[in-house]
Amino acid sequence: MLPLTAFSLSEKQVHLFDFHPIMESAIGVLVSQFKAYAGKDGSSDTLSRDEFQKLVKSELSNFVKNASDPAAIDQLMSSLDMDNDGELCFLEFWQLIGRLANKHGGFSQ
């Protein structure tokens, strides 16, 4: 293996290896997945109840128990829907991510 100082790349090649820090990449994935599910039933900035259920069932089924149960989804959504408009904006959705990360990470509160 060559020492790092002996390895050189052109500026164009460097951009091929331009990685984001892990946390920035994780946020990017969360935002892009939210956007992928949002907007199919209305506003592209919010998740409807059906969009939310599809996202949870497809993307979070290992972390959210009863992801296929409509009553459980309704209860979860109402706990997140702070303005009671029947949709979740990204900040409301982000509460779920925080709760799941907290529980999965073994944090107490």
What's the total number of domains in the chain?
Answer: 1
pLDDT tens track for 25-35: 999 999 999 99
- Which residue range(s) make up the domain with 68? 43-109
**CA torsion, points 36, 37, 38, 39, in degrees to nearest 10?**
80
Question: How many CA atoms lie within 13 Å of 48's alpha carbon, on the beta-carbon side?
Answer: 8
**Do residues 47 and 87 touch, judged by C-beta distance below 8 A?**
yes
pLDDT tens track for 9-25: 444 444 444 567 899 99
Q: Is residue 84 one of the residues assigned to a domain?
A: yes
Question: Which pTM value belongs to this model?
Answer: 0.77
Q: Is residue 49 one of the residues assigned to a domain?
A: yes
Q: What is the CATH number of the domain that holds 97?
A: 1.10.238.10
Q: Is residue 21 one of the residues assigned to a domain?
A: no
Q: Is residue 12 one of the residues assigned to a domain?
A: no
